[in-house]
Chains A and B, each alone.
Chain A
Amino acid sequence: MSTWSEFVREHGPPAYRTAWRILGHVQDCEDVVQESFLEIYRLFVAGKIEKPRALIHRLVMFRALDALRKRKSMGWVDPAKFLDAAPGPRELAMQREDEQRLRAIIAELPPRQASVFCLMHFEGLTHEEIAEVEEISLNAVALALHKARARLRELMLPSRQEHLQ
C-alpha cells in the first residue's frame, strides 16, 4: 500500500481539477478538496479504500456540487463577482460570465442529475465509469443524463434571453 503522501500526489491533482471544473473558484476548490481528503484519510488509515478513483470522484463531486448550491442560495450567482480583479479583455470576461451562468444552472439540477452530468460532460467519464462512481445501474445513468440535459435545455434558454436583455 502506498503512503499517504504518494496517495495524495497521485490523486490530489485530479481531485482538484474535478472541483475546479464545477466551482471555478480557488478558495472554494481548496476547501472542497481538503474536506474530501479529510474523509478519505480516515478510510485510508482504516485500509478501506478499494477503488480510490471512484471514491474520490464521488466525494469531491458531492461536496463541490453542494458548495455550488450553497453559493447559489447565498445569492452568489452574480458573475461579475468572479471575474479577475485585474481588468481583462471584454471577450474573456464574457466567457467567464458564461461559465458561471452554466455553473449556476447546474446548481439548479437535482443532485444525482447534476453529478451524472458533470461526470459525463466535465470529467469525460463513460457511462460505465459513471455507474461505478455513482454506484447505480447503466440504465439509471442514462435516465439521469437524459433528464439533466432536458432540464438544462429548459433552464438555459430563459437564462440566455435574460442575459441578452
Chain B
Amino acid sequence: MNIDDKGWERELPEDFQGAIDRVRKGPPPPDSLERSVLAVEGIAMTQAAWERAAMNAQMLAVFVLLADFAGTAVLVAAFGFHPLLAFMGVSYVFSMLAFLVGFYDSIHGKIRAGDLVLDCGRIVTRSKGSFPLMMLYLSVFGVIILGTMDLQQIGPLPIAAVCVWAVTGLLYWRMLSTGSLQVRTHGLWHHGFLPWDRIESWSWVGKTDLTLVILRRGWLPYLRRVAVPLPIDLRPQVEALLKANTNPSESP
C-alpha cells in the first residue's frame, strides 16, 4: 500500500480508520480456520465417493442393458417374438427380480442389523434426480408400445403386468432415493446393512451440508466408499456411536 492509500484512510472519520486497520490485521479464530481447512481437504474424499457412486450406477445400467439385449436376441431368434415385446418381457423379468432381491435384502438386512439405536431420519440423496428420469423412461416406453402395437392383440394380462411393474419400480426407486440412515445394534443401515466390523474408517465433510464418508472393507474399490448426507445437529450422536462401536482412525 502506498502513501496515497494511507493518506486516503487518514481523511476518514477516526472510528472508520481504526475499523479498517483492525479488519486488516485482526486474526480469525484459529480453531475455525483449522476446521475449515480440514473440511476443504475432505472435499476430495467426498467428491470421490459421489463419483464412484455414479460410476457404479452407470456400470450397473450398462450391464443390465447388455443382459436385456442378449435375452431379447434369444427370444426373437428362438421363438420369433416381436422385438419390442421380447425386450419388454426380458426387462420385466430382470427388473422384477431386482426389485424382489432389493426388497428382500432390505427386510433381511434390518433383521440382521438388530434393534434401532438412532434414526437419523429420511435423507434425500443426490439420486433423487433419477426419479424423474425413471418417469421419462417409462413414458417413452409407453408411447412406443401404444404407437406400434395393437393393444387388443396384447390382451389385458400383459398390460396389467406392465402396470404392476411400473408401480413396483417407482416404489423401489423412491425407496432408494430417500433412504434413511439408522444406527442399529450391529451396524449402520443405509440402503442396506453395514456391520460394524466392515467399517474401515470414516470422516466428516462439510459444515452446513454435512456428509459422513465411510470407507468399508472389501475387495472392490468402487464399492468401498459410501457418502451419506446428514443433518448437522446429529453429528455428535452419530460420532459417539461410531467411536463406541468401530475401531478405525477418523481421517477428516
Contact = CB atoms under 8 A, between A and B. Distances in A.
Interface in B1-52: 1, 5, 8-9, 11-13, 15-16, 18-20, 22-24, 26-29, 32-33, 35-37, 39-41, 43-44, 47
Contact of A20 (B9, B11, B28, B41): B28
A21 B35 contact: no
B13 A157 contact: yes
A101 interface: yes
B44 A30 contact: no
Interface in A124-141: 124
Interface of A: 4-5, 8-9, 12-13, 16-17, 20-21, 24, 26-27, 29-31, 33-34, 37-38, 41, 45, 95, 98-99, 101-103, 120-122, 124, 149, 152-153, 156-157, 160, 163
B29 A26 contact: yes
Given A99-B23, A102-B23, 4 more contacts: A20-B28, A29-B28, A33-B36, A37-B40
A82 to B, nearest CB: 13
A30 B32 contact: yes
Given A12-B36, A34-B43, A34-B206, A21 B16 contact: no
A27 B35 CA distance: 11
Nearest to A8: B41
Contacts of A160: 13, 15-16
B37 A41 contact: no
Nearest to B208: A31
B207 interface: yes
A16 B33 contact: yes
Contact of B40 (A33, A101, A153): A33
Interface string B55-90: 000000000000000000000000000000000000
A4 B46 CA distance: 13
Contacts of B207: 27, 30-31, 34
A41 B47 contact: yes
Contact of A98 (B5, B19, B206, B208): B19
Nearest to B11: A153
Closest 4 CB pairs of A and B: A20-B28, A12-B37, A37-B40, A98-B19
A45 B5 CA distance: 39
A21 B24 contact: yes
A102 B24 contact: no
A41 B44 contact: yes
A24 B23 contact: yes
17 contacts: A4-B43, A5-B41, A9-B37, A16-B28, A16-B36, A16-B37, A21-B23, A24-B23, A26-B28, A29-B32, A95-B19, A101-B16, A103-B23, A153-B11, A153-B12, A156-B12, A156-B16
A114 B244 CA distance: 49
B182 to A, nearest CB: 27
A17 B37 CA distance: 11
A98 B16 CA distance: 7
A158 to B, nearest CB: 11
Nearest to B24: A122
A12 B232 CA distance: 23
Contacts of B22: 95, 98-99
A34 B24 contact: no
B24 A121 contact: yes
A118 B239 CA distance: 39
Contacts of A5: 41, 44
Contacts of A34: 36, 39-40, 43, 206-207
Given A31-B207, A153-B11, A102 B40 contact: no
A30 B11 CA distance: 34
A97 to B, nearest CB: 9
Nearest to B32: A26
Nearest to B34: A13
